Structure 1
Amino acid sequence: MRADDYPRVLVVSAAVFDRSTGTGITLSNLFTGWPADRLAQLYAEDRAPGTDAVGTFARFAPRNAPVEYHLFRQWERVRRPLRTVLKGPVDVVAAPSPAGATVAVARDPAPGALRVHLRTQLRAFVDLSPVRVPPDVRRWLRDQRPDVVYTTLGSIRMMRLAVAAAQECRVPLVPHFMDDWPTTLYTGGQVLGLPRLAVRAGFRDVLRHSSYGMGISEAMAREFARRYRLPFAAFGNCVDAADFADPHQPAPDRPGGTPVELVYVGGLHLDRWRSLRQVGAAVGELAARGIPARLTVHAPAADVGRYGGAFAGMPAVHLGRSLASGEVSGVLRRADVLVHVESFAAEHRRYTRYSLSTKIPQYLAAGRPVLAFGPAEVASMAHLAAADAGAVVGHDDPAALAAALGPLCADAELRARLGRRGLAYAERHHRTDRVAARFAQVLREAAGRPAGAAVVPRPGRAAALEGSDVG
């Protein structure tokens, strides 16, 4: 595309363009090659744009936030010491395994119920507060002269800010959904149910101003197009060609007796630590049967500190260091098997059912087989199954997990064959140059469409339109 073929885009999001968060990485990759004079971002995160970010940037700073925001910031400062006082460190106790051996089991490392309740109530209260867009910010928005406002939303305040930007610039919105927050956000009755009502009202405003939508997976794009009768396209994270494995490079050489290296890269939140612990237990049992294997977990430092105790007493599990974004592709390519997990808990299944993890394209591009353990209906699991690049265990069955893990660890040729399939799939679906070009074309089409074509859910119609309570 020529520079003039790119629409002028204003990005409104909490996350800034950088390489330290999943959303920041996805944004940076999708907007690869965008002319700097045709891209601007208004963001809320308390960090600077990445060194490779291009465009014009402005932060919606705390001075624009109400007093509730500052109260929340003060709470965040005292939250960690308070957690230590109320809960203390994660406890690890001995418990018998089904096989009769004694294993270490961590008591639930999630925060205590009282602190979870207080934090969620306060977060909802802050999110419910009004968004004030000062005259200087409005002037900055107009000065960008966008053709379209692209937004990742995810909260009441971000919905209000994105709609305000679209109204100020008199252009359509393009919301990009990373998970199914419209049906799950504040459904726990926080603050007497007022935040949930605000989500519904704010989401109706978003749809009224939207000309096009994006989902992070094909499954999400299909479902949201059905719900809202708005054109949707699927765009998730993509991978630079330089980070793809060489299809002719042999797999790591593992001399006899050297453990097969399984590697997990990602967060442990949303109860993923529980599923990952089951994988670690299966790896340990495999090693005990004479097939040496080891699971290395690379997670954010905060997650390791919070959930690392769950893996105590598991000799087959190694807690590796946290990785910078530039290190990930090399670590993945040096592994024998890559591991992806999702939670089987009902509340997490609902939240992640249409989400495609940021690391899935990176896993496939590494040319290594993937062991996936999580609910079969979740989009990340379905995506890996479609790639046919490993073993997908879609139900909570330790025996099935062990049966899938055994061949992957015992057969190097099988690993090589599955890795090549994943690499070929990533070439077709996840190369940045191809995905970013299609992304630009969709935004150009969205800029030329009128807003307001979506079906806006109303009370009494939500179940029919969405299969949810968004109305």
Structure 2
Amino acid sequence: MRLDDDYPRVLVVGAKPFSRSTNEGITLSNLFQGWPVDRLAQVHTVEGVRSADVCASFYHFGLRNFPVDHALRRVLGAVGGPTGAVAASGGTAAARRGSSSRLMTQLRAAADLTPSRFPDDLAPWLRRHRPDLVYSLLGSVRVNRLAVRIARDLGVPLVPHFMDDWPSTNYGSGELFGLARASLLRTLRAAVRMAPRGMCISQPMADEYQRQYGIPFGAFANCVDDTAFADGPPDDTGRPSSWPVELVYVGGLHLGRWQTLARIAEVLDRSAQEEPPVLRLTVYAPEHDLSQFREAFGGRRSVRLDRWLHSDEVPKVLHTADVLVHVESFAPAHRRYTRLSLSTKIPQYLAAGRPILGFGPAEVASMRHIADAQAGVVVGKDDPEPLSRALRQLRDAGLRHTWGRNGLDHARRHHRRETLSRRFAEFLGEASGTGAGAGKDPTDREGQDG
């Protein structure tokens, strides 16, 4: 049992609050689960539903603290601008959508760069919590500036945690004539200068960032509670071959993932000679994604689109599937963005003890993680023939059992919350100069994922 003194006092600074409804909020909640409540607080910029089961003290650094942005939104809303009519123009002609999208992109960049004011009650709130360090996922000019300023004012180190490779891609289209990207990189450099070490979501990202930024990086992905682990993979060897194999995808359809899923749907329908199909795919996705991309799956008899799941419902759905599906886009811009990212649901997939079909660029960290765990079959190129072969393999109950067992064993070694949370606390303790982690090598990979 860890003593409270082993845990540094941490101030989390970021966009979204601790919650059980967003990927960011879930990952934060899982990593900090069990942290002493009096040693954890959060400043967040986005208004959202908070979950108080992990963190109980919040400060919402909201829109009122960005007066220029606030005034701009009010003006645009009054004249039916992007906060009103333009934002709702999804059903208009393609040219108008393109024009509106470009305008929105520029306005979002301008909003990100607008200056903020620090309210009078923030400084005493921060002093009351007496943090040993600031932990932040960073990601925008707004959040980067806020994290750096708070850490500097408090005189404590800042530990960044990179969940995707946004430093290589954000504002890469020259928004605001390049000013947005220049500001992003400048605030990132300021954050790294205050960081004795950093965190990444995958080991490939940690290796690359350590070379790039010259400070130690550790790999910390989403972790899984023991209650969400399967007892073992099912033994389907006695199941009739005519029974359908149920494929399940849980996640967003953004970043081009809808296109990759649509290709799976196309191959499933093309290869289906039986009635009903022997291989069927169910997609659980957010409602706004389903509304936007539903037409891409129209008429596909092998695919069913279902509602978004609450986090408490996910383990049961994963455990009752025959095969779990993870996809990434093959589009160059998307594969650059996801190249070093490990999807937050991959640890959950592995812990479910079900085989995984990975369809996406072979170099992407999520696909490499599945392959390294020998937890399924990865189709690393956009080609219907190897995808068809992989789907045929997934009809083999013996292979499904072997892959499911491999994934479950990998998750037990690398993604158990208790193990990862202990390393996480030690890592932050070393960064702050407090706790049981002091003096340990942050690049020691014992027990790390990947």
Do the two structures share a fold, i.e. TM-score over 0.5? yes
Alignment partner, residue 210 of structure 1: 195
Q: Kindly indicate whether the alpha-carbon contact (under 8 Å) linking 1:10 and 1:39 is maintained by their aligned counterparts in 2.
A: yes
Percent identical among aligned pairs is 52
Query: Which of 296, 306, 310 is the aligned partner of 1:310?
Result: 296
What are the within-5 Å matches in structure 2 for residues 257-296 of structure 1? 257-288=242-273, 292-296=278-282
- State the Cα distance separating 1:162 from its structure 2 match: 0.2
- State the Cα distance separating 1:255 from its structure 2 match: 4.7
* Normalised TM-score (structure 2): 0.91
What SS does the corresponding residue of 1:141 show, helix, strand or coil? helix
- State the Cα distance separating 1:84 from its structure 2 match: 2.5
Distance change (3 Å), C-alpha of 1:346 and 1:138: same
Matched, 1:30 2:31: yes
Alignment partner, residue 385 of structure 1: 371
Q: Kindly indicate whether the alpha-carbon contact (under 8 Å) linking 2:233 and 2:404 is maintained by their aligned counterparts in 1.
A: no
Q: Kindly indicate whether the alpha-carbon contact (under 8 Å) linking 2:34 and 2:54 is maintained by their aligned counterparts in 1.
A: no
- State the Cα distance separating 1:87 from its structure 2 match: 5.2
What are the within-5 Å matches in structure 2 for residues 123-162 of structure 1? 123-162=108-147
Unpaired runs of at least 5, structure 2: 435-450
Amino acid at match of 2:339: R
What SS does the corresponding residue of 2:35 show, helix, strand or coil? coil
Bigger CA drift: 138-147 or 164-173? 138-147
Q: Kindly indicate whether the alpha-carbon contact (under 8 Å) linking 2:341 and 2:364 is maintained by their aligned counterparts in 1.
A: yes
Alignment partner, residue 469 of structure 1: none
Q: Kindly indicate whether the alpha-carbon contact (under 8 Å) linking 1:296 and 1:318 is maintained by their aligned counterparts in 2.
A: yes
Distance change (3 Å), C-alpha of 1:345 and 1:426: same
What SS does the corresponding residue of 1:112 show, helix, strand or coil? helix
Matched, 1:83 2:90: yes
- State the Cα deviation string for residues 431-467 of structure 1 (Å, max 9, x = none): 1011011000000001129xxxxxxxxxxxxxxxxxx
Query: Which of 383, 387, 390 is the aligned partner of 1:404?
Result: 390
Q: Kindly indicate whether the alpha-carbon contact (under 8 Å) linking 1:360 and 1:380 is maintained by their aligned counterparts in 2.
A: yes
- State the Cα distance separating 1:254 from its structure 2 match: 5.4
Amino acid at match of 2:289: D
Q: Kindly indicate whether the alpha-carbon contact (under 8 Å) linking 2:285 and 2:309 is maintained by their aligned counterparts in 1.
A: yes
* Normalised TM-score (structure 1): 0.87
What SS does the corresponding residue of 2:185 show, helix, strand or coil? helix
Distance in 1, matches of 2:86 and 2:60, equals 25
Matched, 1:193 2:194: no
Q: Kindly indicate whether the alpha-carbon contact (under 8 Å) linking 1:284 and 1:293 is maintained by their aligned counterparts in 2.
A: no
Distance in 1, matches of 2:23 and 2:372, equals 23
Distance in 2, matches of 1:136 and 1:15, equals 21
Distance change (3 Å), C-alpha of 1:82 and 1:252: farther
- State the Cα deviation string for residues 72-125 of structure 1 (Å, max 9, x = none): 48434444532224459xxxxxxxxxxxxxxxxxxxxxx932122111101001
Matched, 1:448 2:433: yes
Q: How many residues align?
A: 426
Matched, 1:413 2:414: no
Alignment partner, residue 407 of structure 2: 422
Distance change (3 Å), C-alpha of 1:41 and 1:68: same
Q: Kindly indicate whether the alpha-carbon contact (under 8 Å) linking 1:252 and 1:336 is maintained by their aligned counterparts in 2.
A: no
Amino acid at match of 2:48: R
Query: Which of 210, 214, 217 is the aligned partner of 1:229?
Result: 214
Amino acid at match of 1:417: T
Distance in 2, matches of 1:208 and 1:241, equals 37
Amino acid at match of 2:369: H
Distance in 2, matches of 1:119 and 1:214, equals 32
Q: Kindly indicate whether the alpha-carbon contact (under 8 Å) linking 1:131 and 1:160 is maintained by their aligned counterparts in 2.
A: no
Distance change (3 Å), C-alpha of 1:185 and 1:252: farther
Bigger CA drift: 191-200 or 22-31? 191-200
- State the Cα distance separating 1:306 from its structure 2 match: 0.4
